[in-house]
Amino acid sequence: MIALTDNFNQVSMHDPSQDIIDLYKHIPEITEQDNRGEIICRPLFSHSSLPNVLGITEVPIQDFQFDKPFSYFVHVHHNQQLWSKNLDIIPKQILEEVRKGNCKLIFDNTLEGQRIDGEFFLEPFYKSLDDLKLPTKNINFITNNLVAEKTHKEYHRADKINVVSVMWNVFDIQRLKQERHLPIKVSADMEYKYKSVNIFKTKHFLKINRTNRSERDVFMLFLNFEKLLNKCLISFPELHKWPDYSSQFYKYTQQENINDLKSKLPFDIDETDKTNHGPAGIGKGFFDADLPFNPIHYRNSFISIVMCAMPYDENAYHLHSSTFNPMYCGHPIIQFGPHKSLEIMKQYGFKTFDKWWDESYDDEPNGVKRLQMVMDLVLKLSDYDEKDLLHMYEDMKETLQHNIDIIENYDVKTNLYNRIYND
């Protein structure tokens, strides 16, 4: 199999050339504000790593004779409603080869996982395909939304594209291991032994987040109010100006508590925090939301508090590194994610931790109430002493190892290749 490359589908998302930016002059929405309030301008389509992952040979378009079938991969922007309405800016030659049946067009959304139902993606996307007369059998959409396939099956249309849900961040752990960002091998038994030797310097909780979101701000205010900061290893940059939560979380959002927390910020957990400032990009002097933390923090704490990227969204289960990195490193998790996110994880084979604490928060459909239930659980577990936590950790070793093994053996390469080319 061959994947064609050109200047359009190899562009950097973080540093696009002026020629690329000029393609989007008629789309003012590509200028946006990120989670930190920074104004950024990113292309709707950029470089996809999937050909390399799948072992597909990449050939520059100028060297291809168009005498055999090929694939064309593009990584897509997180704004699905926007890019799906602008498929016409994909090179005309590529679109024509898709019409002829010579090209598989593959949209790579592996780093994101928004909902796809109705107006959120499927309706504008299919309209664009119809307007451009692109046959659906040649179109693939790969996403980290773990229920996207189910949603698409329920969409009423006779001719459909191929939608594939993939646990991308489970697979990406293999890359992080190769780059020495995560341990090559993890054993729940060895993690227990480490904690038993270092029990009195092991914190109750690990809470690491690169970026601000409203619920993360509230959670930090909760930790400060309840005087739990000393029981946590924390990465947290700053409080942001988000929608007013005062009515739902009144006692945490009083000005006195806000001022007190601000006086303690930022929480830089290690050098990856201290050097990760500036505009969006890669390397020192730039801000990389996906930059891995030092894995020693998992050893020096018992439980990860996971704050998912889109915890209030419906039909969007975008579970990423904040969920799977801790589980690979032998951590149990308390997860503030979408309604029934733990249930979805169980469907993919993972075990959660309802034997040791109340996970009924996962069943609460109201996001604000679900967040409060998570905070109540954390407060309850904060009363455990180190020996209690160590005993609990020992008891859950089998569950922890089960999750480690699932992550270690997840073969996204074979599964994804077959889903694209052999289904």
Q: Are residues 251 and 131 in the same domain?
A: no
Q: Are residues 175 and 161 in the same domain?
A: no
pLDDT digits (tens, 9 = 90+) for 151-200: 999 999 999 999 999 999 999 999 999 999 999 999 999 999 999 999 99
Average pLDDT over residues 59-85: 96
Q: Are residues 136 and 112 in the same domain?
A: yes
Q: 213 or 9: which carries more pLDDT confidence?
A: 9
Residues 321/208, Cβ–Cβ less than 8 Å: no
**Res 13: pLDDT:** 83
| 420 is a domain residue | no
**Distance of alpha carbon 186 from alpha carbon 181, whole angstroms:** 13
pLDDT digits (tens, 9 = 90+) for 269-295: 988 888 877 777 777 777 777 777 889
Q: Are residues 159 and 180 in the same domain?
A: no
Q: Are residues 60 and 133 in the same domain?
A: yes
Query: Residue 129: which domain range?
Result: 2-166
Residue with tokens 């149990």: 332
| 416 is a domain residue | no
Q: Percentage of the chain surpassing pLDDT 90?
A: 79
**Res 241: pLDDT:** 66
Calculate the average pLDDT of the chain: 93
Q: Are residues 154 and 183 in the same domain?
A: no
**Distance of alpha carbon 361 from alpha carbon 376, whole angstroms:** 10
Q: 168 or 213: which carries more pLDDT confidence?
A: 168
pLDDT digits (tens, 9 = 90+) for 336-349: 999 999 999 999 99
Q: Are residues 238 and 309 in the same domain?
A: yes
| 64 is a domain residue | yes
Both tokens of residue 251? 């006692």
| 415 is a domain residue | no
Q: Are residues 214 and 325 in the same domain?
A: yes
| 226 is a domain residue | yes
Q: Are residues 250 and 385 in the same domain?
A: yes
List, in order, residues 6 or more apart from 102 with CB less than 8 Å away: 66, 69, 70
**Residue 351, domain CATH:** 3.40.50
Report the 3 state secondary structure along the chain.
CEEEECCCCCCCCCCCCHHHHHHCCCCHHHEEECCCCCEEECCCEECCCHHHHCCCEEEEHHHCCCCCCEEEEEEECCCHHHHCCCHHHCCHHHHHHHHHCCEEEEEEECCCCCCCCHHHCHHHHHHHHHHHCCCHHHEEEEECECCHHHHHHCCCCCCCCEEEECCHHHHHHHHHHHCCCCCCCCCHHHHHHHHHHCHHHCEEEEEECCCCCHHHHHHHHHHHHCCCHHHEEEEECCCCCCCCCCCCCCCCCCHHHHHHHHCCCCECCCHHHHCCCCCECCCCCCECCCCCCCCHHHHCEEEEEEECCCCCCCCCCECCHHHHHHHHCCCCEEEECCCCHHHHHHHCCCCCCCCCCCCHHHHCCCHHHHHHHHHHHHHHHCCCCHHHHHHHHHHCHHHHHHHHHHHHHCCHHHHHHHHHHCC
Q: Are residues 157 and 179 in the same domain?
A: no
**Res 288: pLDDT:** 78
Q: Are residues 310 and 394 in the same domain?
A: yes
Q: Are residues 136 and 220 in the same domain?
A: no
**Res 35: pLDDT:** 63
Last residue of a domain, one of 111, 139, 166: 166
Residue 186 main-chain phi, psi, to 5 deg: -130, 135
Residues 267/207, Cβ–Cβ less than 8 Å: no
**Res 292: pLDDT:** 79
Q: 160 or 245: which carries more pLDDT confidence?
A: 160
Is residue 37 scored above 80 in pLDDT? no
**Res 112: pLDDT:** 93
| 395 is a domain residue | yes
